[in-house]
Amino acid sequence: MAEHSDSVLVVGATGQQGGATARGLLAAGVPVRALVRDPAAPAAVALAAAGAALVTGDLDDPPSLAAAVAGARAVFLIPPSVFGAGGWDSAREAERGRAVVDAARRGGVEQIVFSGVARTPGHDSRDLDGKTAIEEAVAESGLRYTLLRPVRFMENYLLRAFVVDGIVDGVNRHIFPADEPLSMIALADIADFAVLALTDPARFDGQALQLAGDAPTPRAAADAISAATGDAVRYHELSEAEADAIAPMIGDAWRAVRRTGGWRADLPALRTLHPGLRDLRTWLSTGGAAAISALGADTTAAPSTL
């Protein structure tokens, strides 16, 4: 085993989830190495100002990853999703993830925490192929590991310029049944679970955690947003025909939700692990409602990078 410090290499540090994890680790007194392609990028500069050590590397350049993991005790991995002309590029996503796992194993890293996406019963979407391949590589690495599987983000209510989700002209449009529970989680809580796993490797070793913080119905969520912001918001459940008209993958997702029943997570067990787990009302009252209101009538804003 190579000699290492107590530092954690955060891969995906300039994204919202990786950035929140990096800041959470720093707040816990854990040294952070943030993998960045461009140290001069605003997100990278902000991380450095917060106390992270920047290491330059590229997920498509394996030799640079070897240098990045050198001396790190653990790795937090959330490779960016890859989209090509044909849609989601699962093969490239898997290749990038495997490259990080291989570099960690060869570099003497002790632990990997990987954040992917939640599973639904019988889910067969190709969008998960890349993440599944990375999970398998992590589990087979021989290192201590934890797999985080977050459900839909509460921050998705802030999205704009998407064909579904977000709030446009007072309407949240989506594929989910209006009066059935919809699991969701705040990005900050995903980071909190990552910090828990990274600071207590033995307790979380080998665990796969399906992460959620609340499960209101979409209609109840719209009512909660209305109450918190003071602006009327309603939910529109897309019909199957509307979903198919947007794109085949949207129609396929519409049918998959009804076939599988959607995401499920053990909220009481998760709250035992993380007593501060946020429900939707807490997220709204601690910045979410203000962020929604700040968007106002601007329906052309670019979507956030999650």
pLDDT of 159 strictly over 90: yes
pLDDT score at 76: 98
The H-assigned helical ranges of the chain are 16-27, 42-50, 62-69, 90-106, 129-139, 187-199, 201-204, 218-229, 240-246, 248-260, 267-273, 280-283, 289-295
Pairwise CA distance, residues 63 & 55, whole Å: 13
Calpha distance 56→146 (Å, rounded): 25
Query: CA-based angle 36:195:290, to the nearest 5?
Result: 80
Torsion 138-128-9-201 (CA) sign: negative
Residues 215, 183 contacting (CB under 8 angstroms):
yes
Residues 219/179, Cβ–Cβ less than 8 Å: yes
Residue 151: pLDDT above 80? Answer: yes
Predicted local distance difference test score (pLDDT) of residue 249: 84
Q: Which of 306, 121, 114 is nearest to 206 (CA)?
A: 114
Residue 15: other Cβ atoms inside 10 A: 20
The whole-number pLDDT of residue 297 equals 44
What pLDDT, in 10s, does the model give residues 72-124?
999 999 977 765 555 567 888 899 999 999 999 999 999 999 999 998 765 55
CB atoms within 10 A of CB 91: 13
Q: Indicate the pTM of the whole model.
A: 0.91
What pLDDT digit, counting tens, does each position of 32-66 carry?
Answer: 999 999 999 999 999 999 999 999 999 999 899 99
What is the secondary structure of 78-123 as a DSSP string?
A: -PPP-EETTEE-HHHHHHHHHHHHHHHHHTT--EEEEE-----TT-
Instruction: Please give the average per-residue pLDDT across 273-289, as a whole number.
Output: 97
Mean predicted lDDT score pLDDT of the chain? 90
State the Cα angle at 119 between 140 and 215, rounded to 5°: 135
Identify any residues that bridge with 11 across adjacent strands, giving them in sequence order.
35, 77
Q: What is the pLDDT, as a whole number, of residue 79?
A: 79
